[in-house]
Amino acid sequence: TIEIEEQLSGLSPGGAQQVQFTPHLLPVDRGILSTIYTQPREGVTENQLKDLYAAFYKEHPFVRLRNAPPALKDVRGSNFCDLFVAYDERTNRIITLAVIDNLVKGAAGQAMQNMNLMFGLEETTGFMAVPLNP
């Protein structure tokens, strides 16, 4: 959570951000579902949030923004991170749901993605036809 807050604080004009990050333990052989709660500094609408996320992740080929809560089955065997963002006016909280396949988008996948960037390859090289096991 500290690393997340550090990154968000660098992006936020107002400075420090507090985050509640909850990775959910599920009875599955691969995949992680996380719920992230943050509080905006000032009034915001859900459409503004969706526009902000779209602008921020526009150049990130492995991040897909969803219009409904994401499902683990949609990222299984891939390097994708599917995100859904919503705003709860009652609690003034931003709620972000994220799903990844931790057997691909884990340390090995991160190393491969970084290697692609370091060698000037397309960031997606080697990821678009990953075999499933298990």
Confidence bin at 106 (pLDDT 50/70/90): confident
Confidence bin at 111 (pLDDT 50/70/90): very high
Of 15-29, 49-63, 77-91, the one with minimum mean pLDDT is: 15-29
Residue 124 belongs to some domain of the structure: no
Query: Cα separation of 30 and 16, whole Å?
Result: 33
With 70 as the cut, is the pLDDT of residue 21 above it? yes
Region 34-63 average pLDDT: 91
pTM of the model: 0.85
Residue 127 belongs to some domain of the structure: no
Of 15-19, 45-49, 105-109, the one with minimum mean pLDDT is: 15-19
Domain containing 15: what range? Answer: 2-118
Q: Specify the CATH number for the domain of residue 30.
A: 3.30.360.10
Half-sphere exposure of 45 (CA within 13 A, CB side): 3
Residue 129 belongs to some domain of the structure: no
Residue 107 belongs to some domain of the structure: yes
Residue 128 belongs to some domain of the structure: no
Query: Cα separation of 85 and 68, whole Å?
Result: 9
Residue 59 belongs to some domain of the structure: yes
Q: Which tokens is 82 given?
A: 């599917």
Region 88-96 average pLDDT: 92
Radius of gyration of the CA atoms of the chain, in A:
16
Query: Cα separation of 78 and 74, whole Å?
Result: 9
Residue 68 belongs to some domain of the structure: yes
Q: What pLDDT, in 10s, does the model give residues 63-88?
A: 999 999 999 999 998 999 999 999 99
Region 95-116 average pLDDT: 91
Spatial contact of 85 and 95, defined as CB atoms under 8 Å apart: yes
Q: How many domains does the chain have?
A: 1
In the prediction, which pLDDT does 6 show?
77
Residue 125 belongs to some domain of the structure: no
Burial zone of 130 (CB within 10 Å; 0-12 exposed, 13-18 middle, 19+ buried)? middle
